[in-house]
Structure 1
């Protein structure tokens, strides 16, 4: 566990995850979990007739895997507030290897929650060809560093 308070986040700081190769099993398991059995994802013959010429990954699967790759560090004072600006930019295929890059885009104290700030991590999921396949903003609520007394006490 790594405790990183709101004040510790630096706008512009970046971290990159390790890679993960997408498999046919990923497609089948995600279809089972989500109920999305569209032929674009699971029917190889149908997919040949599409502009992509092969099965494409579920966008929600790419998002789940892309975010999951970032979950290697537990910060007990930061909580996911949500995701904004989610975009599926390019298709992902079986055999593609993905990694995620997070960059601290901005931060501000939360006007509604004393003692907390909001941190916006801009995320991009990138394939082995260096192409961005997915982009999103990950919003965090992060505790401000506790103060122990006030100056002059």
Structure 2
């Protein structure tokens, strides 16, 4: 779905929550294959039984990828991603956990490089089925101003 939203249209405090996605063993295997991260924390069930976690934990980068991917439901042709700040893996995610993402507009500022655009910061919190935040990051968008569209 496409929806044009300009810098002036964003409202600080606006929040949306995505649908859920259950994490599977296949996710672990595919992510390990893509990244080369075969650490025992993710791949060795017997080793992880000896740790305080008790079971394999998801790759943080996988939780980030899936959690952010869940937010990609609307295409805004007036905005593009500038990157992410303050990425933290707050709690472990296990096989069988269901995650969803809450995205909240945190701030809006002028873009120091582009007079015809601003920067919008969206706080993304990946949440598990117990409503616990498992990952948090700030997504930075560069968004055109209305004046540029005119």
Q: Please confirm whether the aligned pair reaches a TM-score higher than 0.5, indicating the same fold.
A: yes
User: Does structure 1 retain, via aligned residues, the 8 Å contact 2:125–2:137?
Assistant: yes
Give yes or no for the alignment of 1:122 onto 2:120: no
Q: Distance between the aligned counterparts of 1:147 and 1:46, measured in 2?
A: 56
Moved more, 24-33 or 108-117: 108-117
Q: Residues 115-138 of structure 1, C-alpha deviation per residue, up to 9 Å, x if partnerless?
A: 010000001000000100000000
Q: Distance between the aligned counterparts of 1:46 and 1:147, measured in 2?
A: 56
What is the TM-score of this pair, normalised by structure 1?
0.95
Note the aligned Cα RMSD (angstroms): 1.2
The alignment partner of 2:121 has SS state of strand
Give yes or no for the alignment of 1:90 onto 2:91: yes
Q: Distance between the aligned counterparts of 2:17 and 2:130, measured in 1?
A: 16
Q: Post-superposition shift, 1:51?
A: 1.1
Give yes or no for the alignment of 1:60 onto 2:100: no
The alignment partner of 1:114 has SS state of strand
Corresponding residue pairs, total:
149
- Name the larger-Rg structure: 1
Q: Residues 73-105 of structure 1, C-alpha deviation per residue, up to 9 Å, x if partnerless?
A: 100110000100000000000000000000000
Matches within 5 A, 1:14-25: 14-25=15-26
Match of 1:44 in 2: 45
Call closer, same or farther: CA 1:148–1:43 in 2, change over 3 Å. closer
The alignment partner of 2:76 has SS state of coil
Give yes or no for the alignment of 1:8 onto 2:12: no
Stretches of structure 2 lacking an aligned partner (at least 5 in a row): none
Match of 1:133 in 2: 134
Q: Post-superposition shift, 1:148?
A: 7.9
Match of 1:113 in 2: 114
